[in-house]
A and B are shown apart, each in its own frame.
Chain A
Amino acid sequence: DIQLTQSPSFLSASVGDRVTITCRASQVISSYLAWFQQESGKAPKLLIYAASTLQSGVPSRFSGSGSETEFTLTIDSLRPEDFATYYCQQSHSYPLTFGGGTKVEIK
């Protein structure tokens, strides 16, 4: 199975900060990576797929990059509604797997 390791697992930041979350895959997954945002008590929401393609309706302050085994999610100018947990997920091969999550909290 492909393991996804997210870092950090917890992040404290202020409104307006630039935030970067990393996701490392245990083997090459090309660009078969997506990022999700989950607010407390809600269902996850797709932000980015194919490593860097912004889902329709997602603000442009979110961006994704990377390929093979190293990926990043960047949030430019953090807004109050961005405080949530973020997950990466690979669709290269079964079983599909998720990273452990990164919780972004207000400093």
Chain B
Amino acid sequence: EVQLVESGGGLVQPGGSLRLSCATSGFTFSDHYMDWVRQAPGKGLEWVGRSRKYAESYSTEYAASVKGRFSISRDDSKNSLYLQMNSLKSEDTAVYYCVYISGPRTGYYYMDVWGKGTTVTVSS
């Protein structure tokens, strides 16, 4: 069973940094894409970024709203995914979800399993 547990959220001042972690189990971590998705209070879902699998050099993609400020990385020895967030703004306040990507199945990748999320609050 795929399990994802996020941690590292908290209160941070504007301009500050925070590193989120996602501990994974139940699958071969290096063989799967992984995403971060966030949800601001009372708002919809916003994709943050993606880490492709080892065979694709763990290359990454980011939403324009976080590009240059956020960075996704992995530690295979710990089966963990990370989101380094720098230059944080009040609009980054959200619940951040770690997401396991299945595929390609008949050519499709899809957001299959979601963690429970960790809350980030950016405020002075």
Contacts and interface: CB of A to CB of B under 8 A. Distances in A.
Interface in A4-60: 31-32, 34, 36, 38, 42-46, 49-50, 53, 55
B5 to A, nearest CB: 12
Interface class of chain B by DSSP: strand
Nearest to A96: B47
Contacts, number: 61
Interface of A: 1, 31-32, 34, 36, 38, 42-46, 49-50, 53, 55, 87, 89, 91, 94-101
Interface of B: 35, 37, 44-47, 50, 61-64, 97, 105-106, 108-117
12 contacts: A34-B110, A36-B111, A43-B114, A44-B45, A49-B110, A55-B112, A95-B62, A95-B64, A96-B35, A98-B44, A98-B47, A101-B44
